């Protein structure tokens, strides 16, 4: 009996050492595989975001070249009324043909709204980045912004007169859900701008909240140009400094950080090309290791059961042999 107990103890110690080593190897392999997968996902999401933004920018550019809109924007006050009817029909057709477009607007070269399908008539938008950029002759895709109780994006393009000079700009107000839906995935995705403010997060409450506190000098310009909407007058922040630093460095990067509850989070970042935004794809270490742990626990259970059965059979065989030996 004593010999049996010694053998059983040695077997259990051997199994424990073996599965401890196997557990370490399985953990390292699962984390390495997850990090590679996160980087692949981040690159895929970044490309999808670039594609969505650029398609809308090209659309805005195409609409801005329509003769009816160019003629209206280039006209002076004495001839504008005569060109207004067809331009108004054109803007309405643009909005009605696309379920994501909420409004189409024309501003003059001073940034003042001279025609729109919503209630922004005569508003002065010159300070808004999407207008200022278009009036400098560039296409623009804005960050999501809270406007009239909705989250929208503004896509803009310059409108040129016959001489090739900038006469105004066309602004498309688009539901931000178009961008979010294009990035829908079964993992956690965050999109932040160059100062770390969240432009997309599965937690709606975290929208327009920075990853880490933003210095006042960096926050001043976005707030002045109402980048996140007229209602956003200050930038709130969480305290994810490591993640914020990785996002602001740009490019592709991998890191592990602690969230607000202290969990280890593995993340991959990827900068897009259209705007200075960064895509962050992440997954908690607990979720990454859960399948490996379940498999390991099952293997341990099977191994222990097999060992106990084997030892029991050995013990039974020894008992039989001992009994036979005594009878002889």
pLDDT in tens, 100-113: 999 999 999 999 99
Residue 89 has phi, psi (to 5 degrees) of -65, -40
What digits encode the pLDDT tens for the residues 199-242? 998 888 899 999 999 999 999 999 999 999 988 999 999 999 99
Average pLDDT over residues 124-144: 95
Q: Are 181 and 170 in contact (CB under 8 A)?
A: no
Give counts: helices (H), strands (E), the chain.
8, 11
Share of the chain above pLDDT 90, in %: 60
Count CB neighbours of 196 within 10 A: 25
Count CB neighbours of 253 within 10 A: 18
Can you tell me whether residue 98 is helix, strand or coil? Answer: coil
Distance (Å, rounded) from C-alpha 318 to C-alpha 48?
A: 68
pLDDT band, very low/low/confident/very high, at 301 (cuts 50, 70, 90): low
Residue 284: predicted pLDDT: 86
pLDDT band, very low/low/confident/very high, at 4 (cuts 50, 70, 90): low
- Domains in the chain, start-ordered, CATH in brackets? 55-178 (3.30.450.20)
Which run of H or E residues covers position 152? strand 150-160
Average pLDDT over residues 121-141: 95
Count CB neighbours of 234 within 10 A: 9
């Amino acid at each position: 009996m004593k010999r049996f107990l010694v053998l059983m103890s040695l077997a259990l110690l051997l199994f424990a050492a073996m599965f401890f080593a196997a557990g370490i190897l399985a953990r390292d392999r699962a984390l390495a595989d997850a990090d590679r997968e996160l980087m692949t996902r981040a690159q895929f999401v970044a490309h999808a975001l670039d594609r969505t933004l650029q398609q809308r920018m090209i659309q805005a550019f195409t609409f801005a070249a329509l003769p009816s809109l160019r003629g209206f924007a280039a006209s002076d006050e004495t001839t504008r009324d005569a060109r207004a009817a067809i331009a108004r029909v054109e803007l309405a057709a643009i909005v009605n043909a696309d379920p994501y477009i909420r409004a189409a607007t024309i501003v003059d070269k001073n940034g003042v709204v001279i025609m729109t399908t919503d209630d922004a008539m005569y508003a002065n938008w010159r300070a808004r980045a999407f207008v200022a950029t278009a009036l400098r002759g560039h296409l623009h895709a804005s960050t999501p912004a809270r406007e009239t109780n909705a989250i929208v994006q503004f896509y803009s393009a310059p409108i040129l007169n016959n001489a090739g000079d900038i006469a105004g700009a066309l602004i498309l107000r688009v539901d931000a859900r178009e961008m979010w839906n294009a990035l829908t995935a079964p993992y956690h995705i965050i999109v932040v701008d160059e100062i770390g403010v969240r432009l997309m997060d599965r937690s709606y409450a975290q929208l327009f909240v920075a990853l880490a506190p933003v210095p006042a000098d960096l926050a001043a310009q976005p707030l002045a140009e109402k980048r996140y909407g007229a209602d956003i007058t200050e930038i709130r922040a969480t305290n994810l400094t490591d993640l914020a630093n990785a996002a602001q460095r740009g490019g592709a990067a991998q890191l592990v950080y602690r969230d607000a509850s202290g969990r280890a989070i593995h993340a991959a970042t990827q900068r897009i090309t259209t705007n200075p935004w960064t895509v962050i794809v992440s997954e908690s270490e607990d979720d990454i290791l859960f399948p490996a742990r379940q498999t390991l626990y099952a293997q341990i259970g099977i191994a222990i059961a097999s060992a106990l059965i084997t030892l029991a059979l050995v013990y039974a065989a020894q008992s039989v042999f001992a009994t036979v030996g005594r009878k002889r």
